[in-house]
Structure 1
Amino acid sequence: MAAPPGTPLPTSTARWILLTTVLGSSMALLDSTVVNVALPRIGRDLNAPLTALQWTVNAYLLTLAALILLGGSLGDRYGRRRVFVLGVTWFATASLACGLAPTPGILIAARALQGIGGALLTPGSLALIQASFPPEDRARAVGIWSGFGGIGAAVGPFLGGWLVNGPGWRWVFLLNVPLALICVPVALRHVPESSDERAHGRFDLLGATLGALALALVTYALVEARQGSLTVALTALAGVAAGIGFLHVERRAPDPMMPPSIFASRQFTAVNLVTLCVYAAFGGFFFLTALQLQVVSGYSPLKAGTAMLPTTALMLLFSARSGALAERIGPRLPLTVGPLLCAAAMLLMLRVGKDAAYLTDVLPALLVMGAGMVTLVAPLTATVLASVDAGRAGLASGINNAAARAAGLVAVAALPLLTGMDDEAYRSPDAFDTAFGHAMPICAAVLAAGALLAAATIRRPPADCAHPECTHHGNVTTPPLEPPAPHKEREERREQPRHDPHPPAIDNPPS
């Protein structure tokens, strides 16, 4: 039975709830920012080929992207606290398996399990805030949550580099265990349970399975395409067939995970296509740059992790202003200029080679990259939410978040193939530098395509966005999630006139 939100700030219970959600979401957020820094050491210690490093990233993204919408539905039906605690426990157990993995295969399998835990806990952290706090306190609670999340995003690469340099890469994963040991007891003792009374037991399991299968098969085909075997070709065809089956199921399912009707909004469809372009480029950039700085430029893991701080710092400092500016002038210009700035930054990264000087070679590119991300990320999120009815904001945000993760997944799989990297490329500075020089223009071209698409298709929404997440976002790897509003509020918001200058806020803010 769902309890009405009734935990006002600044009570002690409210502080415990915020602590729980911050700890839980920090586990997933830290994992998404620190693993790339550890990849060269993982490859060396486990004698892993480049394909194993790709799968170390992609196994996690695969299960997370495929199941994150289902994870939110499970919380609504069976209890948000229950599913959140399950997700945190699952994530920590899989992290322990990652930290103890003796072989690349076991590490990859544990990463896939970790993604399942992430799909359970990521939607749950913000859903708990929405279900626990009264409407007048939610924006402030989300702001506190988002602020700590932004700090975590900023600290993540530095912390990852320090761990890899010090106790070793395994602690990048083992760090999640003590966080879970704090988070779970606090959640069970202090966080009230909540659910959606009108949620039913029907879940789109077939759709989720086909979606995951399509992503897995296509990713496998891209990663292994250098072999040019019949098996790879058949795998690619099977992936396409699974994708077609997924679309067919979504059209016919009574409660689809990704209802086709939401794409009746041309603005929603357009902004998701822009998202695919932008986050594919980001996924390739952050994966390859962490390797380039260490393999080619000779940076230590700590120095490589610290090198990325300016991008996140700019996001933390100026995302709110960017969101406010886009609210005044509309999203079309920011979503056109932002990707072009990021494309310029990736071309500037061509200066980063052997013995690259941080101040003259690396920092200028990262500052331009940060400026581009500040310009586009908050307006992109706001446009996604404003392009659908308020009652579907949670679904729209979940689809957009899943699209961003899937785009990064495909990019990490495809770029080594497109740039001619073999399994030993990351062990050779010259070979990797050559491939990196080919990859950055590809990423820049994808961003330019996203900018052109935004210029041609994005229009000003009919109502301003009053979502806290539109101006509080420090994650540089994925857009934030918006949990579904409780049923009663969804109905009230459908009745709210679209021209209302002060629409009710739908609360919360990646990943």
Structure 2
Amino acid sequence: MMIFMLGSILCAVSPTAIFMVIARVIQAVGGAILTPASLALVLPEFAVEKRSAAIGIWGAVGGISAASGPMVGGFLVDTFGWHSVFLVNIPFCLLAFVIGLKLLRESRDETAPRTVDYFGALLVVLGVGLLTLMIVQSDEWGWVSNRSLIIFAISFLLLGAFISRCSQVAHPVLDLRLFKLPFVTAAAIGGFAFSMGFFSMIFVNTQWLQVVWGYSPSLSGIAGSPGPLAAAFVAAPAGKLANRIGHGKVVAAGALIMSFGIGWMNFFITPEIHYWDFYFPTMVVTGIGVGLCISTISSSATAFLPQPRFAMGSALNNTSRQIGAALGIALVSSLLVAATKTDDPTSGFHAAWTLMTGVILLSGVAMLTLFRRPTADQLAQAT
């Protein structure tokens, strides 16, 4: 929490673009620590049969935050400037810190080491970062230019070295043995594909509202809020539903609904503004799909793990989702930029929505086919 707040302060006072990038990295480190740690604190407080419902509530809160974030952020940018978007985090961080000290109970694996594999963390950050850079710059450099191929090769080697290190060191950043458990593998693949589509959708839809329809930042935030609000209402009952019929079926249903909404947008949206009769209901439909998926995928990563492994299971899922989000936004950004050099600049949006539809469906297929309860032998080998 304090790292995230420090990053927010540095972002707010950034004098240059390079300083801002460094500050955002610090902020991202804090955020990356918060998500798996928060789940590791929540899960031990609930019995096994109630954990999916608890994560559903956790996801619903996230949905409300996602709905209010663009609205509040857009208002702050329009009213007070971009610095205020980062400054507004400070009181919330302080409040959460004080409440956490009073109410949260520590949850830890007493047998776990107190050391961190910083070199392994550096390998994965550099590997994913270079791959993202290559994708973002693909329109300028070319996909098969010498520069792109060299950066891709370096990224490939770094990520390969990271996987090798995780398999060899005593206390890796990510315990890859957990991938022996089918439900962890399903959550990782499903989380990667879902986040690639979900965060790309937020980015591309916002660009459409502001660039094509001419909405202001605050108005685009309000326009997109029905989706996260619908997701927030669905997320909590989705956890209970997952306990009854299975995580895979719930995510598959959500992925199908979400893909339908994105596909509908792709085929029927036009440059003429038609919000209430088209964009609003489409956001509600996609929001329902998001609500069924987002917290259910999170809970699936730790569904059958013993308590000391909650944090690692959550970290694996969060890592796959963050990588999926980064690569997804990089891909759709390259599609949007490439389309600006054609006769139809909006074609990039349609290509991006097509990509989203495919990866969201992939997340549902992965969860439906791979998610299952592990055997006792599988648990023993992986944990």
Counterpart check, 1:448 vs 2:365? no
**Residue 317 (structure 1) aligns with:** 233
TM-score by length of 1: 0.64
Aligned length: 370
**Residue 396 (structure 1) aligns with:** 313
Counterpart check, 1:272 vs 2:188? yes
- % same residue: 28
Q: 1:218 aligns with which of 122, 131, 134?
A: 131
Deviations 1:304-358 (A, max 9, x none): 1112222222222222222222222223322222112111111222333423221
In 2, Cα distance between equivalents of 1:193 and 1:442: 41
For residues 75-474 of structure 1, what are the structure 2 equivalents within 5 Å?
87-88=1-2, 90-125=3-38, 150-180=63-93, 182=95, 197-226=110-139, 227-228=141-142, 229-350=145-266, 351-417=268-334, 419=335, 421-422=337-338, 425=340, 432-459=345-372, 461=373
**Residue 3 (structure 1) aligns with:** none
Partner secondary structure for residue 258 of structure 1: coil
Deviations 1:108-155 (A, max 9, x none): 222112112323444455656689x899xx989999977765543332
Partner secondary structure for residue 137 of structure 2: helix
Higher helix share: 2
In 2, Cα distance between equivalents of 1:225 and 1:335: 33
In 1, Cα distance between equivalents of 2:224 and 2:212: 16
The alpha-carbon distance between structure 1 residues 193 and 284, as it changes in their structure 2 partners (threshold 3 A), is closer
* Unmatched segments (≥5 aa) in structure 1: 1-86, 464-493, 496-511
**Residue 52 (structure 1) aligns with:** none
Preserved contact between residue 62 and residue 232 of structure 2 (Cα < 8 Å) = no
Preserved contact between residue 296 and residue 432 of structure 1 (Cα < 8 Å) = no
Preserved contact between residue 296 and residue 429 of structure 1 (Cα < 8 Å) = no
Give 1:177's aligned amino acid: I
In 1, Cα distance between equivalents of 2:357 and 2:199: 12
Give 1:275's aligned amino acid: G
Preserved contact between residue 55 and residue 236 of structure 2 (Cα < 8 Å) = no
Preserved contact between residue 184 and residue 301 of structure 2 (Cα < 8 Å) = yes
The alpha-carbon distance between structure 1 residues 166 and 388, as it changes in their structure 2 partners (threshold 3 A), is same
Preserved contact between residue 311 and residue 367 of structure 1 (Cα < 8 Å) = yes
TM-score by length of 2: 0.84
Give 2:245's aligned amino acid: I
Name the Cα RMSD after superposition. Answer: 3.4
Preserved contact between residue 231 and residue 290 of structure 2 (Cα < 8 Å) = yes
Give 1:397's aligned amino acid: S
Q: Flag the structure with more relative contact order, 1 or 2, with Cα contacts below 8 A and sequence separation at least 6.
A: 2
